[in-house]
Structure 1
């Protein structure tokens, strides 16, 4: 049951120090730790070597540490492949160097792989250190776009049991040795982006699946993910969709429909559209109309008034009559936190109607009272 943990490191000393301390406190016995310094510089290299010496002394025999130092950054895919070529464990973990790992993460992921042997892969839930909200717990797809599932939701609002997703990021990820042997190494033509998605699609083609266990959580800063990440995003994304576009499923709309199936008298709701992605919004309303008495032709569309990623200020966008509309509202947005700067409007609306529902294109379903309670301390939008 030996575990191999591969840590690709292109990181600042401050963030890396926080990660290393959390790793020291949480890494479990019978572990092979492979740390690949991908051109982070001499100060980071010294931190890694000092950590390796300390861990070997503290956990003599229980944990082995191997360090690899690249003079210049080669990219995440190559760094992970350097680790994969050395890993000898029955289970292989990928762990980013900007995490704050929580106690039990390693045994929790091993438990998930044991309980779902047919899946072969699992990923942890990543939380924003700033808010405690969900940063990542799987990827959900529409026809042409992948989004982070349940983005910004509360961890307690996630499904209560392990669930399958199409893809997950490699920031906190584990797989069996059999998956590694069958799939092989990462495709290094992806440079600092989408190599993790491509790898899982190759595994999916062989019958494996990725399972998320909501009990496994850690904080993730999302810092220093490698050089030229932004510059290569378009080519990475184009390569992924060209290769796998016909193999991903539009699962976000079924999730939203299922989230509303137990809502009584859905036909009474006044549908309000504030989503910028028009094709996805149209798909949501069409699916809801097909699955319920909701009239898609009754949708009030104010989406053209929504400006980019700025907060959506409802008093500026919606007609005053909607504030006192006696029927409940069903509001569609890109992500529900875009509405958190509306404390006054929401407080006034609650005096008339408490049954309003907000849904978003990340699969979230939020009640008006919960939305109002979330106006403080703020939000973070990817």
Structure 2
């Protein structure tokens, strides 16, 4: 028997949907089902729903052939539900761990028509804001009640996801969602008015995600006028119900005016030129639906707003709003002035060379943008590498009118290929290039002082498919995020025009980790083009340059670093591995680039068969010469998988790593090949041949299908054609 049917509509929530589904399916309650409704989403939300449905019998995925909107999508899920209760959970929110135990107990004990649960607003900076439940119900009722007995219930947020509703009750009352924005209004209020048994559980069950970008509440436009249609539905329904709900009209009317003023007062929703018309409609509705005996209007400034609405005095209302904003701005200015501690004279006295160069940079910002200049950088100016290098090479071929210029540290100049134009970081030429370039391409962020000029284009190529959590997601794992400035990070992210993504999975995670208004280029990774196009002759040549014979088996060991454990090295004995590999075995060892200054003495090994390749400038060379890759949580596995050669995941600290640093998926459950969790197991994998066995091969095939489908040798070309040449891909036939 199914107790709860979860209905999860999905539209443009690919970055958050996995967390939502995991939070439901991971609850310790068995009697549930999840109905995921793909509302013809243009992203991969539908594929995620199908993936979960394929591996969990409690999950069903419904794919719509046209976009119908949130309300109708919920209705479609409701029509397929079989549970006693229905819980409409949005695809970008998630449930609190183990909350379903208490929810199920309360449902069974009281059998309410509606059970209201508590929630918190979870903001992008990981801050949380509580709900109104503690004020509305200082002492939550233990038994059920009707709305007229506790009309203050209407002051709880009128969303569908903070309440479970008995399914047969919805059918009997004919209550469904209406189309359009603010669809919760014409569902949630009638549900409360019609219910004979309302219950309250003062347990935080829902994390209501406050998205930084993409939320309707942060979108300006005239669709916010649809809030009026939803409230009109509520009052027309009350008219049809007649005396049954007449005593509730004053409280519902007050909520309507409150809601209208909330929408109007949010500057991110109603554009200035639309506000007079929005206000006029509030006045019209005030006159149309005002209860004969009046209503409990609030006091103070809020009450004044209600009176101005009733009188239709837009100019006075607007002037009052402007005055309040001016007062608040003056207070902020006063606080800022008090914090200012550096008078101009003292500031001038402290000018250093860097400060003078920054002044030079600001002066260069006043000069015209160079329409032909593209500036490239990689790994905090470590040299010519990674995706930016691949894009640079493709641009030289496809966009010869673009002048490419690299930024490099002084101690890394010698690593640049011949003929590559560069500037040294920190010099006047460096600041001039950053100020005047039309294109800025990097696989990490440029410094905070860099300003986004009108007409310039910033391209973030990233430098790996993420296993570990990144960006804002690191806020939940403070051990691995020591010293991170998340507000500063988002200011840097806001400069991006394009985010290059290797695969759908990366796109989903980048949207969560770096929420902003950039355009995603899901095209594959440019740096992997070379792995696809390399010929057998090139591989033989490279092996010869490394002194590797054609009959030798070359193993590349490339672990990642642990931010939470500086200096940590996984237990690894090169000599013991070579003993297992036999006389034909060779080992290449590469530390993470964060360790490029690590000069600690190492235990002596057979240098003819072991080579430290940490300083080699192009990791793609190492992939091409290696027959097997051993790694742990490094993005190297995603690149190396393009070659379709054996990969071994060596993860001796997996449990500690996933808890302290955080990961996006279970690498041991979905590996690219064989897995070892201690060094003895690693040796056994090679000794037994499991590295090349059928199970490892099938795991690699699944991994490649998921992460490497776009790596066809033309990723850099696709980036150049879009970014430098302004070409757009042909539209995909069919679809929504």
TM range (shorter): 0.5 to 0.7
Between Structure 1 and Structure 2, the one with more strand by share is 1
3-state SS in 2 of match to 1:26: coil
Distance 1:274 1:198 in 2: 29
CA contact (8 A) 1:4 1:87 kept: yes
From 224, 228, 240, give the equivalent of 1:237: 228
CA shift, 1:275, in A, is 4.4
* CA deviation profile, 1:73-118 (whole Å, cap 9, x unmatched): 2111110110111111111111111113211232333344445545
- 1:133 has 2:121 as partner: no
Quote the residue 1:186 is aligned against.
176
RMSD (CA atoms) = 4.3
Residue 323 of structure 2: aligned partner = 305
Name the CA distance, whole Å, in 2 between partners of 1:303 and 1:202.
32
Instruction: Note if 1:78 corresponds to 2:87.
Output: no
Rate the CA distance shift 1:117–1:23 in 2: closer, same or farther, 3 A.
Answer: closer
Residue deviations 1:215-256 (CA, integer Å, cap 9, x gap): 13332224456799954321233441464394516489xxxx
Q: Report the Cα offset of residue 29 of structure 1.
A: 0.6
* 1:99-248 alignment, distance < 5 Å: 99-114=93-108, 116-117=110-111, 120-129=114-123, 130=125, 132-134=127-129, 136-137=131-132, 159-161=138-140, 165-166=153-154, 168-188=158-178, 190-193=179-182, 195-208=183-196, 211-223=199-211, 224=214, 230-241=221-232, 243-244=234-235, 246=249, 248=252
Q: Which has the higher contact order (CA 8 A, sep 6+)?
A: 1
After superposition, the Cα gap between the structure-2 partners of 1:12 and 1:238, relative to the gap in structure 1 and judged at 3 Å, is closer
Any stretches of 5+ residues in structure 2 without a counterpart?
Answer: 142-149, 239-248, 257-298, 309-319, 340-485, 488-736
Q: Give secondary structure in 2 for the equivalent of 1:53.
A: helix
Q: Distance in 2 between matches of 1:71 and 1:45?
A: 11
Q: Classify 1:225/1:112 alpha carbon distance in 2 versus 1 (closer, same or farther; 3 Å).
A: farther
Matched position secondary structure for 1:214: strand
Alignment-derived partner of residue 588 in structure 2: none
Name the CA shift for 1:197/1:242 in 2 (closer, same or farther; >3 Å).
closer
Partner residue in 1 for 2:26? 25
Contact 1:274 / 1:303 at 8 angstroms: preserved in 2? Answer: no
Q: Which structure is higher in helix share?
A: 2
CA distance in 2, matches of 1:218, 1:65: 20
Structure-2 separation of matches of 1:315 and 1:226: 28
Task: Give me the whole-angstrom Cα distance separating, in 1, the residues matched to 2:226 and 2:84.
Answer: 34
The answer to whether the Cα contact below 8 Å between 2:13 and 2:92 also exists between their aligned partners in 1 is no
Q: 1:236–1:22: structure 2 CA closer, same or farther, 3 Å change rule?
A: same
* Separation in 2, partners of 1:18, 1:343: 43
Alignment of 1:251-266 (within 5 A): none
Once residues 208 and 60 of structure 2 are traced to their aligned partners in structure 1, the CA distance between those partners, rounded to angstroms, is 24
What CA deviation, in whole Å up to 9, does each residue of 1:42-67 have, x standing for no partner?
622221111222333xxxxxxx2211
SS in 2 for 1:19: helix
Task: Give the 3 Å change call, closer, same or farther, for CA 343–72 of structure 1 in structure 2.
Answer: farther
* CA distance in structure 2 between the partners assigned to 1:229 and 1:72 by the alignment: 24
Paired with 2:29 and 2:221, the residues of 1 have a C-alpha distance of 35
- 1:38 CA drift (Å): 0.6
Give the direction of change, closer, same or farther, for the CA distance of 1:343–1:112 in structure 2 (3 Å limit): farther
Residue 7 (str. 1) matches residue 8 (str. 2): yes
Q: Deviations over 1:149-180 (max 9, x none)?
A: 97xxxxxx973535862263013431113322
Query: Does structure 2 retain, via aligned residues, the 8 Å contact 1:4–1:34?
Result: yes
Q: Which has the larger radius of gyration?
A: 2
> Structure 2 CA distance, aligned partners of 1:173 and 1:117?
13
Is the contact made by 1:187 and 1:199 (CA closer than 8 Å) also made in structure 2? yes
Residue number in structure 1 paired with 2:595: none
TM-score (norm 1): 0.55
- Quick one: distance in 2 between partners of 1:240 and 1:55? 39
The DSSP-based 3-state class of the residue aligned with 1:233 is: helix
Q: What TM-score do you get using the length of structure 2 for normalisation?
A: 0.31
Runs of 4+ in 1 over 6 A off after TM superposition: 226-229, 341-345
Q: Is the 8 A contact 2:99 2:205 kept in 1?
A: yes
